[in-house]
Amino acid sequence: MNGMARKFTFMDVIKYLILILWACTTILPLLWVLNNSFKESNEILLNPMKLPSKLSFFNYSQLISYGNMNIFRGFLNSLIISGSVVLLVLLFGGFAAYVIARFDFKLTGIVKIFFTGAMLVPAFSIVIPSLVILRKLGLNGSYLALILPQTAGLLPFATLTLAGFMRTLPVELEEAAIIDGAGVLRIFFTIIVPLSIPGLVTTAIFVFLWSYNDLFMSLIFIPVREKQPICVLLSLVSSVYGTNYGAMMAALIITVLPVLILYVFLQEYVIKGMTAGAVKG
């Protein structure tokens, strides 16, 4: 930002114009969908740009049961799946991160390479064998069939990020605790976890958003309609609802709105989490 105070120049007008134009591309499509989600389909066809003549919740109400697909159930499934993934990733990733941050030994070097390598593997390329394993384990059709691969996919990123965070924590508290005879788990839960809360929150939000938004794995690992997360149902919406545009718009709003609300309230954490891997220091 320019420290010097100047007048509002012609250049400034152009600058704001460009910025507002881009802001329009990110806001208007959402408003358009929101607006049309309150109209009945024939009104959308008639006047897709106008405000609804009366606020209709018909589109939302028909999403409860239509073509064997309940989008609200999908939302609940997403919360179950993504919630579990967040807990497992934080717990196991936290454990591993603690070892990497505090344990100086050849092993930690190898573990770091193990996780860094895992991050390079694209999800597409490994779904077929993963599906075979899940079937062998008898998990096919259960929530775990998605929870476990997603957890594995997110652990490397979470572990390395949390390890970087934990390394910056002062070690004196842990040393004092050891002298007092505390065990490793006790140290982890009573000292490390409370001190790491900012790092854990950032990681949790990234993991949640990634899991909630993931379509590819969800599509493949959960074939049972009643257990599918909202993303999968949303991708099926156009084939199930045919030309029922109102229903599609309402489904979009139900999927997107919770995420946007989460984002607006936890902005700093969301941005930190989403960009954590990108910029170091």
- Residues 191 to 230: which contact another protein by CB under 8 A? 209, 212-216, 219-220
Q: How far is the CB of 62 from another protein (least distance, A)?
A: 17
Q: Tell whether residue 124 is a contact of another protein (CB under 8 A).
A: yes
Smallest separation (angstroms) from another protein to the CB of 227: 17
163 binds another protein (CB under 8 A): no
Task: Give the residue, chosen from 133, 189, 190, 226, that forms a contact with another protein under the rule CB under 8 A.
Answer: 133
Instruction: Using CB under 8 A, pick the residue from 175, 186, 190, 226 that binds another protein.
Output: 175
Identify the residue among 34, 131, 139, 240 touching another protein (CB under 8 A): 131
In angstroms, give the least distance from the CB of 260 to another protein.
7
Residue list 13-52, contact with another protein (CB under 8 A):
15-16, 18-19, 22-23, 25-27, 29-30, 32-33, 44-45, 48-49
Minimum distance between the CB of residue 85 and another protein, rounded to whole angstroms?
A: 11
Vertex 24: Cα angle to 38 and 12 (nearest 5)? 150
Question: Considering beta carbons, is residue 197 or 215 the nearer one to another protein?
Answer: 215
Our finding on whether 56 is near another protein (CB under 8 A) is no
Return the bridge partners of 69, or none. Answer: 66
Residue 66 pairs in a beta bridge with: 69
Can residue 265 be called a binding residue for another protein (CB under 8 A)? no
* Footprint on residues 93-112 left by another protein (CB under 8 A): 93, 95-96, 98-99, 102-105, 107, 111
Stretch that binds another protein, among 58-66, 69-77, 116-124, 193-201 (CB under 8 A): 116-124
Footprint of another protein on residues 225-264 (CB under 8 A)? 231, 234-235, 237-238, 243, 245, 248-249, 251-252, 255-256, 259-260, 262-264
Output 64 or 119, the one with its CB closest to another protein. 119
Nearest alpha-carbon partner for 94 in 175, 181, 201, 171: 201
Given the complex with another protein, which of 32 and 57 has the nearer CB atom? Answer: 32
Q: With helix as H, strand as E and coil as C, how does the chain read? A: CCCCCCCCCHHHHHHHHHHHHHHHHHHHHHHHHHHHHCCCHHHHHHCCCCCCCCCCCHHHHHCCCECCECHHHHHHHHHHHHHHHHHHHHHHHHHHHHHHHHCCCHHHHHHHHHHHHHHCCCHHHHHHHHHHHHHHCCCCCCCHHHHHHHHHHHHHHHHHHHHHHHHCCCCHHHHHHHHCCCCHHHHHHHHHHHHCHHHHHHHHHHHHHHHHHCCHHHHHHCCCHHHCCHHHHHHHHHHHCCCCHHHHHHHHHHHHHHHHHHHHHCHHHHHHHHHCCCCCC
For residues 107 and 197, which CB has a smaller minimum distance to another protein in the complex? 107
B/e letters for 246-263, b = 16+ CB within 10 Å, e = fewer, are bbbbbbbbbbeeeeeebe
Residue 151 binds to another protein (criterion: CB under 8 A): yes
